[in-house]
Amino acid sequence: VQLQAFGGGLVQAGGSLSLSCVGSGLTFDSYAMGWFRQAPGKEREFVAAINWSGRRTTYADSVKGRFTISRDNAKNTVYLRMNTLKPEDAAVYYCAAGPVMVWVVAGYDYWGQGTQVTVSS
């Protein structure tokens, strides 16, 4: 199983960025997908998740209304659209696959390598 995340970069505060995560080696549409992030010196934290069909989503309070998670099962890809970025959103962002849509790291079986998001103030 491999999850490859793309799309990180440097953006100014207030700007937007889109992340993608492509899965291979798994039956993608059987898995819930999540995005997590980890800033230096901090624990990995939940950002957003989407169920296998894409009909249900959930977000951390800190990103609700600014971030949107979506998926395209035909492309084995999950997306995270991030708008109105803040300096505190800067982190390495990880995608993950698991059996159900949960907020905890332990609920996911497979993880991508992470992509860096930097937000300048």
| pLDDT tens, the chain, 121 aa long | 999 999 999 999 999 999 999 999 999 999 999 999 999 999 999 999 999 999 999 999 999 999 999 999 999 999 999 999 999 999 999 999 999 999 999 999 999 999 999 999 9
Give 29-98 as a 3 state SS string: HHCEEEEEEECCCCCCEEEEEECCCCCCEEECCCCCCCEEEEEEHHHCEEEEEECCCCHHHCEEEEEEEE
Determine phi and psi for 62, rounding to 5 degrees: -70, -20
Q: What is the pLDDT of residue 37?
A: 98
- Distance in angstroms (rounded) separating the CA atoms of residues 77 and 38: 21
Q: Token digits for 83?
A: 């708008």
Q: What is the pLDDT of residue 80?
A: 98
* Angle, CA of 44, 92 and 79, to the nearest 5°: 100
Beta bridge partners of 82: 17, 67
* Residue whose entry in the numeric block shows the structure tokens 């109105």: 84
